[in-house]
Amino acid sequence: MHRELKKAIYLIIIGLLIISPNLKAQTKNKETKEGKLISLMTYNLKFASPTYKPSWEVRRKMQVDMIRKYNPDIIGTQEGLKEQIDYLAEQLPEYVVVGEGRQGGDDDEHMAIFYKRDKFRLRELSSFALSKTPDIIGSGPNINPRIMTWARFAFITETVEGKESAYPSDYRGHWENTKEFYLFNTHFFNGRSATLARLNASKLIMEKIKPLDRFGKWTNERPIFLMGDFNCHPGSNPHKVFVGDGSSDFFMDTNVNGDPKEIDWILYKGGIEVLKYEEVDYNVNGAYPSDHKPIFVKFQIVE
């Protein structure tokens, strides 16, 4: 009996030694699959027109309250004039705001990006015109030229107490531990007469994005988000340029079961999963803070 008990204990120990590495591997795989969570919002603010009702002085607090309620990690805005962008930046100090007016500097409507200062680090920022001379900001039509603002972000990595850091003491060469992504924010030409301009803008954006899929020593594609007011519907020719045949070379649309006439989009490509999509119907007693409803999407970056 004593010998049989020893044998049973020995078998249990051997079993635990075999199971333990497997449990660790399963835990590691689960952590890898969970990845990074991120929430994005695209929002046409409606420029501060003196004839639009309710006025900007009324709408601005509503916008701040709506943003605080949804608390997105990054917001891509369109149409905001400098005074509007400055007001939101002052009222929302948890965000850093970048971007410029569509004619350069503070002039005209901005393609501004607001991002959480405690969650991301800005590594690269640039703009280009949606025209035949994209390097010249403000080029294109004399009235209402259009631009794209884009940024490369890195997640700020802080080691959780009691857990081992993802970075070794000497992290040189360990690029695989760096979580970065691109975000593009734009506002397309509007009106039926601008059909060709929107199509050409889509083609230009795809040309600009293609070289950014991979850079440095990385071999894996970096996640890319494309958002804005596109002034055309899903299924239109500009939309088809972006989504193509659904392969990895093209974007995916978050608006899968949403409004088929929605002109505000958030598209994505790379190792990303959509967790939630919402067309935000925020209003105060029937009054809306803009003539556009924000699009809010939660993602999981799994690679």
Residue 13 lies in a domain: no
pLDDT at res. 13: 46
Residue 165 lies in a domain: no
pLDDT at res. 213: 64
> Structurally, how many domains does the chain consist of?
1
pLDDT at res. 163: 60
pLDDT at res. 109: 96
What CATH number is attached to the domain comprising 222?
3.60.10.10
Residue 69 lies in a domain: yes
Stretches in the chain below the pLDDT threshold 50? 13-14, 16-33
Residue 20 lies in a domain: no
Residue 90 lies in a domain: yes
pLDDT at res. 257: 86
Burial class from Cβ neighbours inside 10 Å (0-12, 13-18, 19+) for residue 32 reads exposed
Q: What is the pTM of this model?
A: 0.84
Taking the CB of residue 122, how many other CB atoms lie within 10 A of it?
Answer: 14
Residue 2 lies in a domain: no
Q: Domain range for residue 67?
A: 34-157+175-301
Residue 100 lies in a domain: yes
pLDDT at res. 262: 97
Residue 102 lies in a domain: yes
pLDDT at res. 28: 36
Q: With the CA atoms of 104, 107, 113 and 116 taken in that order, what torsion angle do they form, in degrees rounded to the nearest 10? A: 110
pLDDT at res. 72: 98
DSSP 221: P
pLDDT at res. 24: 40
Please state the separation of Cα 177 from the chain's center in Å.
Answer: 20
pLDDT at res. 104: 92
Cβ(179)–Cβ(155) below 8 Å: yes
